Amino acid sequence: MKQIRTAEARGHANIGWLESYHSFSFADYYDPEHMGVSILRVINDDHIAPSGGFPTHPHRDMEIVTYILDGVLEHKDSMGNGSLIRPGDIQHMSAGTGVRHSEFNHSHSEPVHLLQIWLLPNRQGVTPGYNQKHFPLSERRGVLQILVSPDGRSGSISAHQDGLLYGTLLEQGDSVSHDLAAGRTAYLHVARGKVLINGETLSAGDAITLSDEPTVSLTGIDQAEVLLFDLP
């Protein structure tokens, strides 16, 4: 089964320093038909103006992944972490029993474009944790590279959740595929460009959910950057 969600169908908010597109219900955007897919609860496509950002705020019992497309994001949290997150970096935070953090555009002149991803944890009340790792974009060209997993396989970031997150960059004509085990669901978000996924053409901001299909096939049409979630 295939279900396509176009970029234009997403929720949208613009508060000046932040313009955000919500793949699933979030904040003031509520759509009971789009509350998430499996354990994937949030994908926010955020554009943060120079020097803009989220002041300190709390989270708990959520696995949070930040994926930078352009610019530099500055992070600080109540665990004592302070970092800059750039394209190629994957940041993961286990909110667990509770954590407070802030996120700001590090630049006074250039915007930041990022994806904020929330995954439901496989157990609650864990000790909060932080991890950040650089995955060179060159190593994702023409291959599906695993970025986040439950067990840190193949050099990925380990998170308290039961999904697998892969990333790929596809030039025109590049093809990759992913075998989907029985009972698993694939959710693919196109971050940039244009790509053919199981016979469907998708562009930046579009997404597709695939279930009961043993193989996910992707072919680049126009310099595509794609995230693939393998979900329980």
Q: Sheet of 63-70: strands edge to edge?
A: 11-14, 18-22, 40-48, 112-119, 63-70, 89-94, 129-134
CB 146 within 8 A of CB 117: no
| Model pLDDT, residue 185 | 98
| Model pLDDT, residue 197 | 98
Give the residue among 198, 164, 196, 199 at the shortest CA–CA distance from 181: 164
| Model pLDDT, residue 62 | 98
Q: Which domains does the chain have, with CATH numbers?
A: 10-135 (2.60.120.10), 138-231 (2.60.120.10)
Q: What is the pTM of this model?
A: 0.97
| Model pLDDT, residue 113 | 98
Token pair for residue 171?
């030039």
8-state DSSP, 29? B
Backbone conformation region of residue 109, classed left if phi is above 0, alpha if psi is from -120 to 50, else beta: alpha
Buried b (16+ CB within 10 A) or exposed e, 207-219: bbbbbeeeebebb
| Model pLDDT, residue 220 | 98
| Model pLDDT, residue 70 | 98
| Model pLDDT, residue 119 | 98
pLDDT one-digit tens code per residue, 26-35: 999 999 999 9
> Using alpha carbons only, how large is the chain's radius of gyration in Å?
17
| Model pLDDT, residue 141 | 97
| Model pLDDT, residue 126 | 97
| Model pLDDT, residue 79 | 96
Q: Collect the ranges in the chain with pLDDT lower than 50.
A: none
CA distances (Å), 93 to each of 82, 133, 137, in order?
Answer: 12, 12, 21
